[in-house]
Structure 1
Amino acid sequence: MNTSVTVTPQTFLLGGQTPINRLAYGAMRITGPGIWGPPDDSFEALMTLRELPTLGINFIDTPDSYGPNVSEWLIAEALRPYDNVIVATKAGFVRPGPGVWEMDGRPEHLHQRVERSLENLGLDQLALWQLHRIDPKIPRDEQFDAIRIMQADGLINHVGLSEVSVDDIKAASTYFDVATVQNRYNLVDRHSEDVLRYCESQHIGFIPWYPLGAGSLARADKVLQSIARTHHATPAQIALAWLLGRSPVVIAIPGTSNRRHLAENAASVHIRLTETEHARLDALA
């Protein structure tokens, strides 16, 4: 895979090795209602995915559970052989039906799902695989050890975690290098601030999920709207610009199945907020 990207303040070195642009893409929106089944408009979803490299987006985040499998299938159909694009996936949920999520961290299930993701994406190795959740029914060390074995076997290159504490990260780090952490975090939801700061101190990529609050940030706050008008931008673009300015380890993954929205999201990397604007936005928490 060709991953030649110039390292700038808008890039992050995944695992200290692989440069990715920090404005990335989350693939939840390319599935059907309830994150189940195919999207309503498969053509537009595929065209949106194919537009990513054109806009400088070279990192895609998805799990096997979107669809399930549907997002991985569409990504492969649109972008394989992934020139200059890195696909990160994850596992740890099973999907009995639309809108239903059940954790399954059994080592045999995680291994099975890694094999299935490799098949879905048409890859020999996953560049980044993330544990979608630590299953409380299974000792976390058993889950971490299973991941260590899969990495040693060459199925996974870099490893990440999702919805974890600082203590979880430290415990996992005794089994493998933690390359990324994916916790819920956005302009008005900062319950993971301590995790972000720990990731920054350890040069771990921090991937905020729900970066725009499922669109609510684009509509809600008067301060956000005011700053957006100043920059001739949308509130969503300002919220993304704030996220990218929050820390050099933040990798933002807004999702959409629409090319126009994708272009708007990509343009947020060009917005430079002033210190005063940052302070006003910081106060929203």
Structure 2
Amino acid sequence: MTTALAPFAGRTVARVGYGAAQLPRLHERRADAVALVRRAVELGVNHFDTAEFYGFGFANSVLREALRPDDGALVVTKVGADPDPGGRLPLRTAQRPEQLRATVEDNLRSLGADRLDVVNLRRLDTGPGLRPAGDQAVDLDDQLAVLTALRDEGKIGAIGLSSVTLDGLRTALPAGIACVQNAYSLVSRDDEDMLRLCLSTGIPWVPFFPLGGAFPGLRKLADEPVAHAVAESLGVTVAQVGLAWLLHHAPNTLVIPGTAEIAHLEANAAVAGIGFDAGTLAALDAVESRSNEVPLG
């Protein structure tokens, strides 16, 4: 059961949420995908992170079917990239203001919503992944202007940022920022200063790649001997150690691990109850950090 709670966008959410990026693995087993989301709700999860480009709308459609009004779920989606089924990667950058507006409309349709609770601008300035080029290199103020307009129109409840630099976050603070999503884990802690700024300003920190990177060249928690030793001593998995460390490291951290398996979902939800003594926490804190900077384009 997920019991640890934290404020987020004017609501109270469980600190262990669910990221829907792996839901498309169940594309041919839609009933299982719906059942997985329902099990998450049963476990106390009320924070779901999704995007239109997760399975070309599949993840959004599953959340639309599975979630009920009385679940009280906070659904966070993102803009800044769109599906690209025929491309080298399954997504393309979509950073221009008119593209951000169009992606908001796409998410509204596929989620069956009149208003998106939180929309994260995937800025692409830092961390692993795509980089904007040409007309996709857009000034942050222009992007915040259209997102603020959408918020004023009632189509967005709150604005978050993703793959943003420390200076970018400072620039955006006057617009009102609900959360920050950057790549961050026990083994890759490039953004410690940004986490601390978020903590001091009351902004939730929602790391992606919480167990290290999925891209070649990025360090993985599974390769860290200390994490294995701690897991063995506590009788938990290495992944649980990594997620629990994030929750212990800063009280404004929310984790959104993804999975397509109910057993894994239940293991993720249990990390809120994992404790570390002072020596164990010190050993984990001492793990060497390596950079997340691996651009793909």
- Counterpart-to-counterpart distance in 1, 2:178 and 2:151: 13
Residues 186-197 of structure 1: pairs in structure 2 closer than 5 A: 186-197=185-196
CA apart distance, 1:94? 2.2
Indicate yes or no: 2:69 matched with 1:81. yes
Check the 8 A contact 2:187/2:221 in 1, yes or no: no
Identity of aligned pairs, percent?
34
Q: Which stretches of structure 1, 4 residues or longer, exceed 4 Å deviation after superposition?
A: 214-218
- Counterpart-to-counterpart distance in 2, 1:157 and 1:283: 39
TM-score by length of 1: 0.89
The worse-fitting range, judged by mean Cα deviation, of 82-91 and 141-150 is 82-91
Secondary structure in structure 2 of the residue aligned to 1:89: strand
Check the 8 A contact 1:125/1:154 in 2, yes or no: yes
CA apart distance, 1:255? 0.4
Aligned AA (2:145): D
Aligned AA (2:116): L
Secondary structure in structure 1 of the residue aligned to 2:223: coil
Secondary structure in structure 2 of the residue aligned to 1:31: helix
Residues 239-250 of structure 1: pairs in structure 2 closer than 5 A: 239-250=242-253
Secondary structure in structure 1 of the residue aligned to 2:245: helix
CA apart distance, 1:164? 0.6
Aligned AA (1:193): E
- Counterpart-to-counterpart distance in 2, 1:196 and 1:234: 25
- Counterpart-to-counterpart distance in 2, 1:61 and 1:82: 18
CA apart distance, 1:217? 4.8
TM-score by length of 2: 0.86
Check the 8 A contact 1:103/1:133 in 2, yes or no: no
Of the two structures, which has the highest relative contact order with CA contacts closer than 8 Å and spacing of 6 or more? 2
Q: Which runs of 5+ in 2 are unaligned?
A: 125-131, 289-297
Secondary structure in structure 1 of the residue aligned to 2:158: strand
Q: Which runs of 5+ in 1 are unaligned?
A: 1-7, 33-37
- Counterpart-to-counterpart distance in 1, 2:220 and 2:257: 12
Residues 113-124 of structure 1: pairs in structure 2 closer than 5 A: 113-124=103-114
| 1:17-52, Cα deviation, whole Å (9 max, x unpaired) | 2111111111111114xxxxx635333222111111
Distance 1:197 1:42, change over 3 A: same
Indicate yes or no: 2:264 matched with 1:261. yes
- Counterpart-to-counterpart distance in 1, 2:106 and 2:84: 17
CA RMSD of aligned residues (A): 2.0
Aligned AA (2:21): M
Check the 8 A contact 2:52/2:83 in 1, yes or no: no
Aligned mate of 2:7, from 1, 5, 13: 13
Check the 8 A contact 2:211/2:220 in 1, yes or no: yes
Residues 152-171 of structure 1: pairs in structure 2 closer than 5 A: 152-171=152-171
- Counterpart-to-counterpart distance in 2, 1:255 and 1:271: 19
Number of the residue aligned with 1:131? 121
The worse-fitting range, judged by mean Cα deviation, of 212-221 and 96-105 is 212-221
- Counterpart-to-counterpart distance in 2, 1:147 and 1:102: 19
Number of the residue aligned with 1:5? none
Distance 1:198 1:218, change over 3 A: closer
Check the 8 A contact 2:186/2:221 in 1, yes or no: no
